[in-house]
Structure 1
Amino acid sequence: MATDSDYAADEARVKRDFWPKIKRVARSIPFAEDAVAAYYCALDRETPMHVRAALIGALAYFVLPFDAMPDFMPLMGFADDASILAAALAAVRVHMKDRHRDAARRTLADEEFDAAG
């Protein structure tokens, strides 16, 4: 069972490591918009805590440099990340708001974001 300190550590890791990683890989993963929308939903204080915890856990797994299938493996490297994020999103779908998806689309379409990747 995850503790408050586990959640806090995962949230700090996501806040620190999410943007550098998504900027590096956004063009090569089909679930970039879902990941960014999940980030916005997870950090939205209006999102219920249990939903935020599920999304932070999935995003923390995404930003880990070493996981079940290392990201540098061709084709398969992000399969585990995608499946964990998809499972989290399926579990909390009703809490993902249009504002989270709209913010994700705007972020990914932003020329500065695109230039940074």
Structure 2
Amino acid sequence: MTIDDWKKKLKELDPAKEIEKYWQSFSESEFLEKLLKYAKIIGVKSTFYSLLLFYAFKSPKTPKKAKLTIAGALGYLILPFDLVPDFIPVVGFADDAAVIVYAVFNVISHIDEQVKSQAHERMKKIFGDNYNEHGEIDDQFKPEM
């Protein structure tokens, strides 16, 4: 596909229709299914941070403004259109990871102990008990044990 083809495709893109078309991906089951599918590819850190955002989004304590940031980041992760397509090896998920990390640090004050614990428990189910054996997860995001 040439650059002109991409420009044409972008010009024809109707964001509202695309969001409506993929709205079901915002469900918990669809999000977790996609995350599980790509967890090994995107790695421990991006998966954990995505889960932090997901559980912070679900928390009634998280304010709407933070939830909008989270929805944008998780939407970018799960919806099929990206700046850099996911099928491109290595760099395909780099933009997704950057968006996720940016969002985490923007809503950090809303990532409480309950959110950390929920993400930790899900990570154990995905990667096993020793998912952080290489120390990828920042200490501030680890749940108190």
The alignment's C-alpha RMSD in Å is 2.4
Q: What's 2:63 paired with?
A: 48
Q: Displacement of 1:11 after TM fit?
A: 7.4
CA contact (8 A) 1:58 1:85 kept: yes
Q: Please give the alpha-carbon distance, in whole angstroms, between the structure 2 residues aligned to 1:59 and 1:15.
A: 11
**Structure 2 unaligned blocks of 5 or more:** 1-15, 128-145
| One-letter code aligned to 2:48 | E
Offset at 1:20?
A: 1.4
Structure 2 partner of 1:70: 85
Q: Does structure 1 residue 96 correspond to structure 2 residue 108?
A: no
Q: Which structure's CA Rg is the greater one?
A: 2
* Per-residue deviation, residues 33-59 of structure 1 (Å, max 9, x unmatched): 000111010111111111111101100
Matched, 1:15 2:27: yes
- Larger relative CO (CA 8 A, sep 6+): 1 or 2? 1
Any gaps of 5 or more consecutive residues in structure 1?
none
How many equivalent pairs are there?
A: 107
Tell me the TM-score normalised to structure 1 length: 0.79
Alpha-carbon distance, 1:13 to partner: 3.5
Kept in 1, the 8 Å contact 2:61–2:110? The answer is no
Q: Structure 2 CA distance, aligned partners of 1:71 and 1:103? A: 27
Percentage identity across paired residues of the two chains: 28
- Over 3 Å counting, the alpha-carbon distance change for 1:84 and 1:103 in structure 2 is same
Runs of 4+ in 1 over 6 A off after TM superposition: none
Structure 1 residues 12, 95: CA separation in 2 closer, same or farther (over 3 Å shift)? farther
